[in-house]
Amino acid sequence: MHKTCLPPIHRIAAIGSAVAIVAASSAFGIGVTSASADELAPTTGVGTSTSVDAPTASPTTDPAADPASAAAEMPAEPAPAVTAAPAPTTTPTAPTTPAAAAPAAPAAATPAPSDDAAATATPAGTVTISGTTRAWRTVSADTAGWPAGTTFTYRWDFHHPVLTNRDQGTERTYIVDPEQADGTFTVTVTGTAPGLTPTSVTSAPSTPVVVEDSDRQFIYGQRVIPVTSGEPFSVDLAPADNPDLSFFVNGSIGGTADPSVLPEGVTLSANGVISGTLDSSTPLRDQIWVHVSTPYHPGGGLSERILLSAAPPENTGGLSFAGGTTEDHAVQLHAQAGEPFSHTFRATGGPVDEPVRYSILRTDGQPFPASDVGASFPAGITLDRTTGVLSGTDDQAAFYSFAVVATSGGQTAVQYVDLRTAPAPAVGALVTVTRPGDRWEQRTWVIQPDGSVESTWFPNGPQHEIEREVGGRPTAAQGSTLRIAAAPVDAFGNITVPLDGDWDGRTPVTVTSDVATDVVQRVGWNAEITFPHASTHTLTVTSQGVSTTFPVTVVPSTPTGTTGTTGTTGSLAFTGADTTGPVTWGLGLLASGVALLTVRARRRRA
């Protein structure tokens, strides 16, 4: 019996998958939601004057000519002004002069509104970030120096050269996510003292986030938990000793809690401990997903599939391994693309003074041929036959199943192993660009995160040989449209999100342009962009929080009645005019993408 291994997502398969996704969207008419690439200009705040006119310092009446009126206009001496009012020298209008001048005195005593605002603002204290910025740990916002009784609100911001700042935390504490490696945090605290207006202060940046290999659980991985039939078990699934982590279980990679997926007699606690008792007759359930949340992946956005099955008791005589006695209870090993990996296999109980030798076989007991290295077995990883150390570095994200065989003095022991190499952190988006309606040439551009481009096309139609070219850039005619698909990839070209299963928590591709008149439309998970003006347009494509930027050349459209680049009279260059083109093109690319994945899957059979 052997197990079919899950195919790794190699660069060529990633390209085929992305092309197939684009083609399927075009072929089956996924609904379009219109959106504009224009950015709204920020509204400029208009200042409001807060000054108040003070009373004039110069009297309007000559004191020598009219002492009474002059005295009335002196705000510092109101009493003499009233006493002098009946004086014979006062004109008939003199009584109105003190009345008009009287309101000026209280106006001069009113403070300016700007002074009021400053006086009512909460005096600013400080805010600092405490705690270890490592995956699965909790950091806190610590305040000091604020007035007594001040209440606070919080906003956490994540800073990274590639990843976006999303799902900002609003609590005093923040759980660091394993996908936030090498980023930093700031926290903005807004304090409001009793009877005063709010004041905001932002902390200094934290130290960069550290993510170790042991922290990379719950990134859509898989784990088999060996259980002995009829004996109680308890396994702590938490990736770190942090009481702030909260767990739940259900039957899919996303969704909400559903503990009914657990076998009878098995429970999962809120702090991530799975426990209970299983019988060997209990059927294996392969859809048990344990979820954990962080602010960067809220609502159980990180998950790991758990396989539970009761095994018979281990053999106690002769040469043997501890665990991994069947394929269903294989030892689970985890590696990461591009990172050194090492694990030591140890068989015990063999003949005294007889050395143990180790080898690797397929799960069906057959040796791995040389052609399987890099396909069914990871390239760059080798087994030392004397020490039993499996070590090396693999740069391809994949799932491998194999058997380690120990021999000593005529005795043999077998241990089944599942090795999962996870992708490295995403560094950018792998972008695929096509022309909707391009029936004959069917040109596709694939842009790597570093901006390098490879294009493929069928110069003589899809039934003929495909041609490839390295370099260049996507090209479109003025007024035409390009379709864009993308997926996040690591530095080795591995797509960092699963291509199968539930798409909960993923976001559609977004496209922005440095030309404000370009128009972007959503097409399912992909996007289309139309270019009203001819020039060089710089596009930024974002998928799952990572982006890739590249130029597109938009050339003037061919005037009506002349021969365009497509060679068709009266049509725009590069666009094509046959409305049946997208269906033919889509089905052709879909078949190509599926074929690439099928080839890889066949090569990965263990």
Question: Ranked by mean pLDDT, which of 113-122, 169-178, 207-216, 568-577 comes out on top?
Answer: 169-178
Alpha helices in 401-477 (DSSP H): none
pLDDT at 478 over 90: yes
Average pLDDT, the chain: 74
Q: Is the pLDDT of residue 135 over 60?
A: yes
Q: Torsion-angle region of residue 203: left (phi > 0), alpha (psi -120 to 50) or beta?
A: beta
> How far is it between the farthest Cα atoms of the chain?
139
Closest CA to 19 of 429, 431, 428: 431
Quote the crossing angle between the two packed helices 581-603 and 11-27, to the nearest 10°.
150
pLDDT number for residue 320:
87
Q: Which residues contact 591 (CB under 8 A, 6 or more apart)?
A: none
> Could you tell me which residues come within 8 angstroms of residue 138 by beta carbon, excluding any fewer than 6 positions away?
131, 173, 174, 175, 176, 242, 244
pLDDT at 421 > cutoff 70: yes
Q: Which of 528, 543, 438 is closest to 166 using CA atoms? A: 543
How far, in Å, CA of 440 to CA of 599, rounded? 26
Residue 156, strand partner residues: 187
Report which residue type is found at 111: P
Reading the block at residue 534, the tokens are 């001819």
pLDDT value at residue 312: 52
Q: What number of H helices and E strands is found in the chain? A: 7, 32
* C-beta neighbour count of 259 within 10 angstroms: 11
Rounded to an integer, what distance in angstroms lies between the CA atom of residue 261 and that of residue 172?
34
Q: Which residues pair with 476 in a beta bridge?
A: 554
The distance of Cα 404 from the centroid of its chain, to the nearest Å, equals: 37
Q: Dihedral sign, CA of 277, 279, 283, 284? A: positive
Q: Which of the two residues, 595 and 366, has the higher pLDDT score?
A: 366
| Closest-CA residue to 530 (of 435, 432, 430, 429) | 435
Structure tokens at 470: 């390295």
Percent residues over pLDDT 70 in the chain: 67
Query: DSSP label at 605?
Result: B
How does pLDDT run across 178-216, given as a tens digit for each residue? 999 999 999 999 999 999 999 999 999 999 999 988 888
So what's the pLDDT on residue 402?
A: 92
Give the Cα separation of 262 and 308 in Å (integer).
9
Token pair of 95, please? Answer: 């009584």
Q: Which helix (H) or strand (E) holds 602?
A: helix 581-603
CA 185 to CA 180: how far, in whole Å?
10
The span from the CA of 289 to the CA of 268, in Å, is 11
Domain boundaries, given as residue ranges, for the chain: 11-36+425-603, 134-202, 213-422
pLDDT for 371 equals 60
Nearest to 527 by CA among 21, 14, 41: 21
List C-alpha distances in Å: 500 to 50, 201, 506.
Answer: 61, 44, 12
Token digits of residue 323: 């665990």
State the pLDDT confidence band at 466, using cuts at 50, 70 and 90. Answer: confident
Lowest-confidence segment of 67-71, 284-288, 483-487, 495-499 by average pLDDT: 67-71
Could you tell me the pLDDT band of residue 48, with boundaries at 50, 70 and 90? very low
pTM over 0.85: no
295-321: pLDDT as tens digits: 999 998 899 888 776 655 554 458 889
Per the DSSP assignment, residues forming a β-bridge with 398 are: 421
Question: pLDDT digits over 400-417, tens only?
Answer: 999 999 999 878 889 999
Concatenated DSSP letters for 149-206?
T-EEEEEEEEE-SSS---S---SSEEEPPTT-TT-EEEEEEEEE-TTSB-EEEEPPP-
* Rounded Cα distance, 233 and 244, in Å: 24
CATH number of the domain located at residue range(s) 213-422 in this protein? 2.60.40.10
Q: Which residue has the tokens 């551009």?
A: 445
- Report the alpha-carbon distance of residue 457 to residue 90 in Å, rounded: 103
What is residue 42's predicted lDDT score, i.e. its pLDDT? Answer: 35
